Amino acid sequence: MKVLFNSDTTASVCPEILQKMSEVANEDKYMLGYNQDKYTLKVREIMQSYFTKPIKCYFNASGSGANVLAIKAMKDNYSSIICCDDTHINRYEVAGTEYNTGCKIIACDSRDAKLTIEKIQSKLLTKENFNYAYPKIVVLSQVTELGTCYTVEELKRICDFCHKNDLYVYVDGARLANAMAYLGVGFKEMLENTGVDIASFGANKNGAMFGEMIIILNPLFDKHFILNQKQSMQLFSKTRFLSSQFLVMLEQNIWYKNAKHANDMALYLEQELKKLGISIAYPVQSNAVFADFSEEQIKYLKREYALSSYDFNNHYCRLMTSWSTTKQEIDDFISYLVKIKL
């Protein structure tokens, strides 16, 4: 099997992060755990410097875990969650959010994996009916499952509408770095200026060994978050090995460099596929390319490459680039593809 384009999680750990984790392991024999180590405190200090209003940051291992923790912090016992049908919590997490939070997911149909105010509004008609779970949380994926990005203006309009209608907004930011690199904005512009209540910032898909950072912007949800994390069995004792990854990503701007490179490689892949007459299903705004291959092409490609089929009614394959993807690897993929005579 050659390069795995089926997911950006197949890429290894970038050298700077691996080196930092090794340094942390060898620096001190003992160090306080549970968010009390100096690396965690330093990351929190750096993150705060990006915002004008107070924020709080917490660390956990996975994106699905971050989603559950954020939603548990925001929910009531009778809450429902509004999201796009293509949102990760609805499609890919084995009902993990519903199982772990007790909230009902209310999914909206969407061809572009984006929520709009109109779609959210349509799900609020049951608010006054006690027979239904009460809509309380709106979940947005940034980047979306189709590789597209909400603009800052779109996010702000949605957040303003939600807050006027007794709704909170959580941004699943497993690929938030890719979105910020594409849009050319920073943390403050993406999260604080738009009114997001809680967001995650993924590292696992951006060169880290593991890890997500949960950024709490609305102080309502910070008071007991550490208890939420402990009760959910997602509080690391040796937090330094989580947070030190974010430290090197932030101090050396690796989060942006890796995301920008992955995005650039996706654009290059799109360009080369189009030269072969392969149509691309959605705009390439991150590190995902949805290519419309024939059944014969898919069968041929899978002899050497791992591919993820997305639309089972058509032949779309999601091709993901990563921080470590090279032009040569893409050229090899294209060269292999042109050998098939169809």
Tens digit of each residue's pLDDT (9 = 90 or more) over 130-174: 889 999 999 999 999 999 999 999 999 999 999 999 999 999 999
- pLDDT confidence of residue 33: 87
Over the chain, what is the mean pLDDT? 93
- pLDDT confidence of residue 253: 96
CATH ID of 255-338, from 3.40.50.300, 3.20.20.10, 3.40.50.2300, 3.90.1150.10: 3.90.1150.10
State pTM to two decimals.
Answer: 0.95
Same fold, 15-253 and 255-338: no
**CATH class, 15-253 region:** alpha beta
- pLDDT confidence of residue 189: 98
Q: Which residue has the tokens 């030269």?
A: 275
- pLDDT confidence of residue 139: 98
How does residue 3 score in pLDDT terms, banded at 50, 70 and 90?
confident
Tens digit of each residue's pLDDT (9 = 90 or more) over 74-126: 999 899 999 999 899 998 888 999 999 999 999 999 888 999 999 999 999 88
- pLDDT confidence of residue 314: 65
CA 195, CA 183: separation in Å to the nearest integer? 17
- pLDDT confidence of residue 295: 87
Q: Name the nearest CA neighbour of 97 among 151, 137, 132.
A: 137
| DSSP H/E element including 296 | helix 295-301
- Residue 210 pLDDT > 60, yes or no? yes
Tens digit of each residue's pLDDT (9 = 90 or more) over 212-268: 999 999 999 998 999 999 999 999 899 999 999 999 999 999 999 999 999 999 999
Phi-psi region for residue 172, left (φ > 0), alpha (ψ -120 to 50) or beta? beta
- Residue 329 pLDDT > 60, yes or no? yes
How does residue 316 score in pLDDT terms, banded at 50, 70 and 90?
confident
For the chain, the straight-line distance linking the first and the last C-alpha, in angstroms and rounded, comes to: 23
Question: Domains of the chain: which residue ranges?
Answer: 15-253, 255-338
- pLDDT confidence of residue 307: 83
Tell me what percent of the residues of the chain surpass a pLDDT of 70: 98
Q: Which residue has the tokens 């993820």?
A: 308
Q: Which residues contact 106 (CB under 8 A, 6 or more apart)?
A: 80, 81, 82, 83, 123, 133, 135
- pLDDT confidence of residue 313: 54
Tell me what percent of the residues of the chain surpass a pLDDT of 90: 80
Length of the chain: 342
